[in-house]
Chains A and B, each alone.
Chain A
Amino acid sequence: MHQPPAYLMFGDDDGIYNYCPSPVRVDETTMYAFYCANTLPGIVIDDIYARKGVLEDGRWTFGEKFRVLQPDRLGWDCIHVCDPDVIRGEFRCRGETYSWMMAYLGCDIHHCYHNQIGIAFAKNIEGPYVKYDLNPIVGYDETFHWGAGQACLLSLDGKGKFRMLYSQTVHEYERRRLDTRTFWRDFDLSDADRPVVGEEVAMHEGGIVNRDGLGEAAVFNPTIAWDRTNDLYYLSREGTPFDRTHMPDFIAPYTQVSVISRADFERNEGGWTTVRDFGPEDTGFERNHNAGIVKDAYGALCDPGVLPIALTVSELKERDFLWTYRIYYRELVLAKR
C-alpha cells in the first residue's frame, strides 16, 4: 500500500533545535504540535513550544510557534523543561477546573542529570499552562543520575484518570551500570488537591527486539497511543543499539514502533510485536530519534488503520549537529489485525 513520503513539519531559525514532539490532533483537520526548543540561538536551555497545524490537501501546515512552558528561576525545574505530552480531561485543582494537562520533564542541573516529571494544567490547549503545586509528580532522588522523564500519557476515563509511561534510571551498583528503562503507573487527578498515584510498574519488555535482531534491546523514551477499536497499545521507543561510529553517537538511528494488546500490557509479562523501524529510508536522515506518535486529545489513535508519527531527525556532524534537529511527519498504513 502507498505510504506518503515524510516531510518537515516546520522549520526554525539557525541556532534553534526542535525535538521531542507531542502531536495532539483535536479534530479532523486541526493538530497542535508541542515540542522542545531553545529560545536564545546557540544557548541550550529548553523551553516547551507549540504550533497549531491544519490539514490542507493531505498535508499538515503549521503556524507560528508560541511558548507554552518555561523553566522557573529556582526549584526542581529551573534549568530545562522539555519532553511534553498533552491530554484532555477534567482536572480540579485549587478551586479551578482544567480541561488540559501537560506532563513534562524538568531538571535543576545541567549535563543531563536529575530529571524529574511534573505536570501543568490549562483551560485551553494553547495555554496558559499552570504548573501543579505538588510537582514533581514523579520525583527522583539521586542528583547525578539521569533520573525520570520523557513521560507520555493516555486518558483512562476521559476525565482525571490517566496512565503515564516514562523513562527512569536503573542503577545496578555492583556492575556500576546506569541503564534507563520504561516504567508506568496510573493516576487519578480528578481532584488534584488529593492526587491518587498508583504503584510504579517496570514495563515488561518481552517481544521487543532490535532492528536486525542485534544486541539487547533497551526500552526508553516511550510514546504511546491506544487503538480503542482493536484495544491495542502502540509504543514508540529509541531504536537500539546506537551507532557509535559517527556523531551524534548518543541518539537513535531509528525509532521503533511495537504493538501489544491492552490486556497483555496490563498483565505485564510481554507480548510485544514490532510494527516498524522508522529510519533513514523514511526521512533521509541517519538519526531518527525522540519521536511522538500522533494521537487524539485523549491519547488514542485517530484512525485505527493509520499510524502517524513525528520523528526528530539529525544530520551526522562532528560539531553543531544539535542545530539540525528538526521534526518530520510520517504516516504508516497499518496491516489489518
Chain B
Amino acid sequence: MSRIYALQAPRLAAAAARMKADVNYLGTADDAEVIWLERSHVFVRDAWAEGPVTVRRLQCLYHRLFPGDWLLMDGSLPAALTAKASAYARERGARVVIGLKAGQSGGETSGSAARGEATRSESTPGDAADILVHEPGASWFDNPGAVVQIEPDENLDAWIGTLAISLMNGFDLERSKPLCRRAASLSDIPWYDEVAYA
C-alpha cells in the first residue's frame, strides 16, 4: 500500500479520503475548509490560512514524500509551481495525478485563465502528470504519461478519488477504470459505502 498527498486540491483530497484512501493535504485553507477536509477524513498536514502556495512552501511537500506515494493536483496552481511540485515528487520516487475540469487550463487564480485565455506560463504542464484525468474541454501543454478523458456527465472529483484508493492498492490505470466510473456516476463526492455496497 502507498500514501496519497493532495497539494492545493481540496476536493480531490476529500474525494479520495471519502473512498478510504490514506490522504494527506497541503495547501491554502481557511478554518472552514480545514474542518470540511477533516470531516471527510483528510489528514491536514500543512494548511496556510494566508498567502498562496509558494516555492518555499513546497518544501513542506518535498520532505513528506517517499517512494511509492502519489501526489494529486487539480490544475489550480501556476504552471511553474505545478512543475516544481511534480519534480519534487519524482525526485522522491512518488508519482503524480492531475485532474482538469472543462475549460480549465491551469493557474485558475489568474483572470486570463478564467476567461479561457491561458498563456503557457499559466496553463498546466502535461508532462508534470504521470496520469492526467480531464473533463472534455480541458487543455494543457506538453505530454502527460497517460491521459483519461471522462464522459461529460461523470464526476471528475469522484473519478480521481476512486483512482487514488485503487492506486494505493497497487492497481494500474486500466484496472482502476471500472471502479472509477462507478463512483463517477454519482453527482456528489461519494463515500466508500455508497460505491462499495450499492
Contacts and interface: CB of A to CB of B under 8 A. Distances in A.
Nearest to B169: A43
Contact of A73 (B18, B168, B171, B179): B18
A109 B196 contact: no
B45 interface: no
Interface residues of A, number: 17
A74 B196 contact: no
A44 interface: yes
Contacts of B169: 42-44
A70 B22 CA distance: 18
A45 B22 contact: no
A247 B195 CA distance: 32
Given A110-B22, A111-B22, A40 B196 contact: yes
A92 interface: no
B20 interface: yes
A67 B197 contact: yes
Contacts of B197: 39, 67, 70
Q: Assign chain B's interface to a size class.
A: 20 to 34
Given A45-B196, A74-B41, A110-B1, A40 B179 contact: yes
A71 B20 contact: yes
B128 interface: no
B31 interface: no
A118 to B, nearest CB: 17
Q: Is the interface of A mostly helix, strand, loop or mixed?
A: loop
A170 B162 CA distance: 36
Contacts of A45: 20, 192, 196
A39 B192 CA distance: 11
Contacts of B166: 42-43
Contacts of A39: 196-197
Contacts of A71: 20, 192
Contacts of B170: 42
B175 interface: yes
Contacts of A78: 20, 41
A110 B16 CA distance: 13
A79 interface: yes
Given A43-B165, A78-B41, A73 B193 contact: yes
From A39, A40, A45, name the one whose CB has the most chain B CB atoms within 10 angstroms: A40
Interface string B166-198: 101111000100010000000000011101110
Contacts, number: 42
B84 interface: no
A189 to B, nearest CB: 27
A241 B18 CA distance: 38
Given A42-B171, A44-B169, A67-B197, A74 B20 contact: no
Nearest to A72: B193
A47 to B, nearest CB: 8
Interface string A227-255: 00000000000000000000000000000
Interface string A262-294: 000000000000000000000000000000000
Interface in A74-94: 74, 78-79
Contacts of A44: 1, 169
A228 B28 CA distance: 63
B17 to A, nearest CB: 10
B175 to A, nearest CB: 7
A42 B176 CA distance: 10
Interface in A139-194: none
Contacts of B41: 73-74, 78, 108
B39 interface: yes
A187 to B, nearest CB: 30
B193 A111 contact: no
Interface string A20-46: 000000000000000000011011110
A42 B1 CA distance: 12
A73 B169 CA distance: 19
A111 B39 contact: no
A109 B22 CA distance: 7
A78 B42 CA distance: 12
7 contacts: A42-B170, A43-B169, A44-B1, A45-B196, A67-B197, A73-B193, A79-B20
Interface of B: 1, 18, 20, 22, 39, 41, 165-166, 168-171, 175, 179, 191-193, 195-197
Given A44-B169, A45-B196, A71-B20, 15 more contacts: A39-B196, A40-B195, A42-B166, A42-B170, A42-B175, A43-B166, A43-B196, A45-B192, A73-B18, A73-B191, A73-B192, A110-B22, A110-B168, A111-B1, A111-B22
